[in-house]
Amino acid sequence: MKVSLFIFTCTLSAFGCLVSFSSALAFSVNTGQDSVSADHNAWLKEQYSVKHQQLIPVVAVADMFSACNRARKVDPIHYRLADLVTKMDRNQLATKLSLCLGDDSMQSDAALNFGLIGCFSDQLSQLSNEERLQKMKLVEKAILSLSRDERKKSFTQCVTQQAIQYLP
């Protein structure tokens, strides 16, 4: 129990930059209409920014576990990402990720790469199977060519956007 809580706490701190980034980026409402007022935008931020900030590390861990489990097949169950985010206990999710990563740490390149694959896989899930597979090949090529900082930035942006869909 303490190990999974420690892992989840490490995850929260590792993605602390996501929290500050999300407030500024994710809730800038741009509908293209002049009728949306500054008051309405402020209300939206007030209503959802805290919830969004709390979801970001959960979504990040779920992305990492989902892709890691697909690649390493540590857990025989193929979980839907939405179930990992909305239904699974956070400590259980952190424990599952830790088991899947094995000797790789949460801050490792492997974990970051799994996170990117999981996030983009979820973002592309609405495409046809053929188109999704083609785009995922491009994602995997991009992962190999990007620096660690570029991959972190990409993961931050992907998870920040992705977390919006899980807001209540």
Report d(CA 114, CA 83) in Å as an integer: 18
Q: Is 32 helix (H, G, I), strand (E, B) or coil?
A: coil
Determine phi and psi for 44, rounding to 5 degrees.
Answer: -60, -45
Q: How many CB atoms lie within 10 A of CB 113?
A: 22
Q: How many CB atoms lie within 10 A of CB 45?
A: 17
Q: Considering only 39-48, 55-64, 89-98, 112-121, which range has the smallest mean pLDDT?
A: 39-48
pTM: 0.74
pLDDT bucket at 113, cuts 50 / 70 / 90: very high
Q: What pLDDT is attached to residue 49?
A: 80
Which DSSP category does 108 fall into?
Answer: S
Q: Is 53 helix (H, G, I), strand (E, B) or coil?
A: helix
